[in-house]
Amino acid sequence: MKQTKPLRPSVVPFPTARRSRKRVGGPLADLRAEALRDRFRQVSEASYTGDATTPLKKLLKRF
């Protein structure tokens, strides 16, 4: 059976931690990971919508 390619590229999932190692860290590590996930999601959405303007570029546009 012939496989067909997807019409648009699939969204790259955020790299998850491997389960082979014991999880280290505490609440602070969880918050940091959540912030990284949010930032990764924002960058991914911006690349799809075409609004890949970085905060620095937004700041420079003011002047």
The whole-angstrom separation of Cα 27 and Cα 18 is 19
What is the residue whose two structure tokens read 């998850």? 16
Burial class (CB in 10 A: 0-12, 13-18, 19+), 40: middle
In the chain, the amino acid numbered 20 is S
Nearest to 36 by CA among 9, 15, 61: 15
**pLDDT the model gives residue 7:** 59
Annotated domain spans of the chain: 27-51
The pTM of the whole model exceeds 0.75: no
Helices (H) and strands (E) in the chain, counts: 2, 0
**pLDDT tens-place values along the chain, 63 residues long:** 566 655 555 666 666 655 556 666 788 888 898 999 998 888 788 777 666 666 777 777 777
